[in-house]
Amino acid sequence: MQKIKRVNAISFGKILGTIYGVLGLVLGLIVTAIITGNVFFTGNKNYATIFFGFGAIVLIPLVYGLAGFVFGALLGWLYNIAAKRVGGLEIEIGE
């Protein structure tokens, strides 16, 4: 068994920010598809709605990615504090 005694909080934030950014992209695509479908099927030509629909592809991944980075860095920092007190996370590395 190996123990993870410490993590680099910024590195953990980057990883979590990337993962959340990708998830935000998927959500942004879904939101865009729903809004575009709504505009197409209802005939609603509200340009603010159309703009937000396509803006979701950019805005949602940015917000999710930033939130993932901030919370990832915070969680990495909290992990380091907890690992000092109770030990680290035990992992088994196979061949």
- Let me know if residue 37 belongs to a domain: yes
Q: What is the pTM of this model?
A: 0.81
Residue 94 resides in a domain = no
Total tally of structural domains belonging to the chain: 1
Asked, for residue 8, whether it belongs to a domain, the answer is: no
Q: Is there a domain that residue 1 lies in? A: no
* Residue 7 within a domain: no
Range of the domain at 69: 15-88
Tens-level pLDDT at each residue, the chain (95 residues): 888 899 999 999 999 999 999 999 999 999 988 888 887 788 777 777 777 778 889 999 999 999 999 999 999 999 999 999 998 899 888 87
Q: What is the DSSP string of 16-74?
A: HHHHHHHHHHHHHHHHHHHHHHHHHHH----HHHHHHHHHHHHHHHHHHHHHHHHHHHH
- Residue 48 maps to a domain: yes
